Amino acid sequence: MTTHEILIKAQEGKLALALSGAEVKTRALEYMADSLLENADDILAANARDMDAARGHITDVMLDRLYLNAQRVADMADGIRQVAALPDPVGRVLARVERPNGLVIEKVSVPMGVVAIIYESRPNVTSDAAALAVKSGNACILRSGREAWGSCHAIVNALRQGLQKAGLPESAVSLIEDTSHTSGTELMSANGLVDLLIPRGGAGLIRACVENATVPCIQTGTGICHIYVDKDADQAKALRIIENAKTQRPSVCNAEEVCLVHQNIAAQFLPALRETLVEKREAAGLPPVELRLDAQAAAVIPGTPAGERDFDTEFLDYILAVAVVPDAQSAIGHIARHSTKHSDAIITENSDTAAQFTAQVDSAAVYVNASTRFTDGGVFGLGCEMGISTQKLHARGPMGLEELCSYKYVIHGDGQIR
Amino acid sequence: MTTHEILIKAQEGKLALALSGAEVKTRALEYMADSLLENADDILAANARDMDAARGHITDVMLDRLYLNAQRVADMADGIRQVAALPDPVGRVLARVERPNGLVIEKVSVPMGVVAIIYESRPNVTSDAAALAVKSGNACILRSGREAWGSCHAIVNALRQGLQKAGLPESAVSLIEDTSHTSGTELMSANGLVDLLIPRGGAGLIRACVENATVPCIQTGTGICHIYVDKDADQAKALRIIENAKTQRPSVCNAEEVCLVHQNIAAQFLPALRETLVEKREAAGLPPVELRLDAQAAAVIPGTPAGERDFDTEFLDYILAVAVVPDAQSAIGHIARHSTKHSDAIITENSDTAAQFTAQVDSAAVYVNASTRFTDGGVFGLGCEMGISTQKLHARGPMGLEELCSYKYVIHGDGQIR
């Protein structure tokens, strides 16, 4: 089917899901999980073909993201069951007003309608996104990267069998067949057919969506996260937090990329930072962190001189840009100029400085004395996550089921006029 | 100043407002209201010049929208005081999670930042929008229509005196000096400098913003509102509601434009509809409603035959398109194809049919047995209104102070790592 035909067909899935109660949706998700396991052989065979075709054309990191085995398929099924067990986000009465004239006005949560997700090479995004969409009463249109298409197609086939078993139209979950740029552009401008577009991928994809989408779109992902070590920091705490935020999983968006250090403690803290991130890690056989230092930091410890772009780069690697700042206000200013408004932290024992930082730093998540790695839908109590919004409209930070819903006003009267 | 210089300057206003407590903002609004009255002579003189220049170039309806007198300036000041008295929308803790590891995660409402409003010839939008922005901690950038610029400039001057008296930077409220298309385009693409764009005006302006804006934008306004008269309607109630929804104020977005009638009652109801909207009104010296009838309705009563566009037009006038439909499901289908998703109503005494209608009609406000004219921030309990959103992202229906806010997560720890 063409992309347009798929979008038209999805309107049926949208209506059916919008009218389905919580039980039907939960049962559909259970069947979808069962069906993934039943179809595991087909999924793994398709994935093996994708891997063969991709080998030599994409990096090892991307190959690992593409790879599936029986355990990963089982994890996908588990993920669907976890979403199934969450509370239904639709039909909640968010506010209720009874007017003196007897009019009863209720603000009720409703699905967005059709949610389109453009992603890259992780096949598991297919089942994650479909599960969150179905649970929140939304039809979903999935557009995977070309190299993962065979795997995603096999997964969507399995999910659709589950939908049908639950009596829902298979058009509730669709995979775009065209993996060229054309289909992405079509989704971005499908006004009236796509109610929400969520790009999940690299900075280039996100920028293309923000610049070109005329359908409602949520900017996700890119994280240039800062940790500012204040003059009143507990420095041992700071070292523990920075090592965690930088090295526990450097390839993710909530990992630290920049460390700012108050000038009063630079002479003491920077050598300890280097010892923690470089020397001790080398001694322990762990990958050391490359430090990219501004002039003031370079005057204290050895490291790579920071280039012009190093304070505006999401390294996603064992690299940390380090700068010395005169005070907390300068750290806040630096963050305002360079942060992607994802997650930023201060390490301080001074509650006034902490309050100044949390009030002025305009990011989705602002931390005091904790690792930026906690920015996550599960940790934040949402139970799941469709991505992390770095914009301020509609949803900010981790997006769970509620963030995939809109609301409408339902008003009951008995002939009231104005 | 150039538009870009104004946008840069507004960042100071944004920061100052974001850090201001409720008391400072309330006091600033009181001073702004006082200052409007103190500067009434200047405002009225500027308005007289605008009126002189516009006369002969714009319609009488637009001239009336442009016109100010002492009473209208006093009403603007009252409007500001009403906003001042509303609860502060910023700093509310929307959710709070304490994790087993001791991390305390709070979801806190924050201002959007800089809100830009593009509007047309109503000078009072200037003070309304500025008051709502300041109350919600947002700096605002106002871009008025060319014909109202002198009036708006005098109003903004007065408002800025109030801001300064309260110790806030005048850049918290700015009027764009360039009224050519260029400044509109600049605002639409001022990523990083405009956090929210709200167009308030005709369909052409809204479409231009939706198609061209790369900054977050809210689609407002256009209302092709339907009332469906079901076979189980109380017909006397239906007539009263339709006359109100169509004629009480035909120029507004929540006025009815289309009436759908169940075929079983068409022979009885349509003559009564004509009597109510045409004959009785003519006899009472009121403007009669022109009925534009589809073929089935035209077989029952006299009227203008409906043209191809009549079911997709926001008349904003004493004109009503009328169609006969076979059943409630067809009425819902018609609304899905033609509604602008603003406000739609059913008149029925059958609660099952009413439930079917409210579940399936995908509009911001869905009414049972009441006039669509109630879609309004004041009526819905928001206390005020920045416009009526017809999109589903972020805000739907009337937008009050809460809808001008975003949120952020503030996380306090004691050294937690992942």
For residue B353, give both structure tokens. Answer: 């049919």
Nearest residue, CB atoms, B413 vs list A369, A397, A407: A369
For residue B393, give both structure tokens. Answer: 């992202």
Confidence of residue B278 (pLDDT cuts 50, 70, 90): very high
| Interface touch B412/A211, C-beta < 8 Å | no
Instruction: Give the contacts of A299 (CB within 8 A, at least 6 positions apart).
Output: none
CA distance B209 to chain A (A): 9
**What is the SS3 assignment for B109?**
strand
Closest CA in chain A for residue B409? A365
| Interface touch B397/A375, C-beta < 8 Å | no
Tell me what the pLDDT averaged over chain B comes to: 95
Q: Is the pLDDT of residue B219 over 90?
A: no
Q: B residues 371-400 near A, CB within 8 Å?
A: 371, 373-375, 379-381, 391-394, 396-397
Q: Is the pLDDT of residue B251 over 90?
A: no
Q: What pLDDT score does B414 carry?
A: 97
CA distance B398 to chain A (A): 10
What angle (nearest 5°) sits at the alpha carbon of residue B271, between those of residues B269 and B277? 100
**What is the SS3 assignment for B275?**
helix
| Interface touch A394/B394, C-beta < 8 Å | yes
C-alpha closest to that of B316 among B244, B388, B256: B256
Nearest residue, CB atoms, A19 vs list B195, B245, B360: B360
| Interface touch A409/B95, C-beta < 8 Å | no
Q: Is the pLDDT of residue B34 over 90?
A: yes
CB-neighbour burial class of residue B295 (10 A; exposed 0-12, middle 13-18, buried 19+): exposed
**Which of B411, B412, B414, B416 is the mutation pick for testing A, counting most A CBs within 10 A?**
B411
CA distance B414 to chain A (A): 5
Q: What pLDDT score does B220 carry?
A: 84
Q: B residues 87-106 near A, CB within 8 Å?
A: 95, 97, 99, 103, 105
Averaged pLDDT, B173-197: 94
How many whole angstroms separate alpha carbon A352 and alpha carbon A349?
Answer: 9
| Interface touch A393/B216, C-beta < 8 Å | yes
C-alpha closest to that of A377 among A395, A361, A392, A359: A395
Say if residues B348 and B354 touch (Cβ distance below 8 Å). yes
Q: B residues 187-216 near A, CB within 8 Å?
A: 191, 195-196, 210-211, 214, 216
Q: How far is CA B303 from the centre of its chain?
A: 32
CA distance A99 to chain B (A): 8
C-alpha closest to that of A13 among A117, A113, A125, A128: A113
Q: Which residues of A touch B210 (CB under 8 A)?
A: 191, 214
**What is the SS3 assignment for A42?**
helix
ipTM of the complex in this document? 0.93
Confidence of residue B11 (pLDDT cuts 50, 70, 90): very high
| Interface touch A15/B240, C-beta < 8 Å | no
Say if residues A240 and A231 touch (Cβ distance below 8 Å). no
Regions of chain A short of the pLDDT cut 50: none
| Interface touch B216/A391, C-beta < 8 Å | yes
Q: What is the DSSP string of B120-189?
A: -S-THHHHHHHHHHHHTT-EEEEE--GGGHHHHHHHHHHHHHHHHHTT--GGGEEE-S--SHHHHHHHHT
| Interface touch B407/A396, C-beta < 8 Å | yes
Q: What pLDDT score does A206 carry?
A: 85
**Which of B8, B105, B112 is the mutation pick for testing A, counting most A CBs within 10 A?**
B105
CA distance A192 to chain B (A): 10
Percentage of the residues of chain B whose pLDDT score is greater than 90 = 87
Residue A93 pairs in a beta bridge with A108
Closest CA in chain A for residue B375? A409
Q: What pLDDT score does A307 carry?
A: 95
Say if residues A405 and A109 touch (Cβ distance below 8 Å). yes
Q: Is the pLDDT of residue B109 over 90?
A: yes
CA distance A261 to chain B (A): 17
CA distance A42 to chain B (A): 36
**What is the SS3 assignment for A73?**
helix
Nearest residue, CB atoms, A396 vs list B214, B218, B406: B406
C-alpha closest to that of B153 among B50, B307, B245, B280: B50
Q: What pLDDT score does B175 carry?
A: 98
Q: A residues 116-145 near B, CB within 8 Å?
A: none
Q: Is the pLDDT of residue B221 over 80?
A: no
Q: Where are the beta strands (DSSP E) in A32-188?
A: 93-98, 104-111, 114-118, 139-143, 173-175
Residue A13 near chain B (CB below 8 Å): no
For residue B309, give both structure tokens. Answer: 């566009």
DSSP-assigned letter for residue B220: B
Nearest residue, CB atoms, A97 vs list B95, B103, B381: B381
In total, the C-beta contacts within 8 angstroms joining chain A to chain B are 195
Nearest residue, CB atoms, B103 vs list A359, A374, A396: A374
Q: What pLDDT score does A308 carry?
A: 87
Q: Which residues of B touch A408 (CB under 8 A)?
A: 362-366, 396-397
Residue A15 near chain B (CB below 8 Å): yes
Averaged pLDDT, B311-315: 95
CA distance A336 to chain B (A): 11
Q: How far is CA A116 from the centre of its chain?
A: 15
Q: Which residues of A touch B371 (CB under 8 A)?
A: 413, 416-418
Q: What pLDDT score does B204 carry?
A: 84
| Interface touch B408/A362, C-beta < 8 Å | yes
Q: What pLDDT score does B121 carry?
A: 84
Q: What pLDDT score does A318 carry?
A: 96
Annotate B209-228 with b (16+ C-beta within 10 A) or e (fewer). bbeebbbbbbbbbbbbbbbb
| Interface touch A406/B392, C-beta < 8 Å | yes
For residue B338, give both structure tokens. Answer: 């033609």
Closest CA in chain B for residue A91? B359
Q: Which residues of B touch A248 (CB under 8 A)?
A: 417-418
Closest CA in chain B for residue A254? B418
C-alpha closest to that of A174 among A311, A303, A1: A1
Nearest residue, CB atoms, A417 vs list B103, B240, B391: B240
How many whole angstroms separate alpha carbon B351 and alpha carbon B357?
Answer: 10
Please tell me the least confidently modeled range out of A254-258, A387-391, B112-116, B165-169.
A387-391
CB-neighbour burial class of residue B351 (10 A; exposed 0-12, middle 13-18, buried 19+): exposed
Instruction: Give the contacts of B308 (CB within 8 A, at least 6 positions apart).
Output: none
| Interface touch A393/B196, C-beta < 8 Å | yes
Q: What pLDDT score does B396 carry?
A: 96
Using DSSP, how many helices (H) and how many strands (E) does chain B show?
15, 16
Q: What pLDDT score does A221 carry?
A: 74
DSSP-assigned letter for residue B279: I
Nearest residue, CB atoms, A105 vs list B99, B218, B380: B380
Percentage of the residues of chain B whose pLDDT score is greater than 70 = 100
| Interface touch B415/A248, C-beta < 8 Å | no
Helix (H) or strand (E) holding A283: helix A280-283
CB-neighbour burial class of residue A13 (10 A; exposed 0-12, middle 13-18, buried 19+): buried
| Interface touch A370/B413, C-beta < 8 Å | yes
Q: Which residues of A touch B413 (CB under 8 A)?
A: 367-371
Q: A residues 272-301 near B, CB within 8 Å?
A: none
C-alpha closest to that of B138 among B182, B172, B104: B172
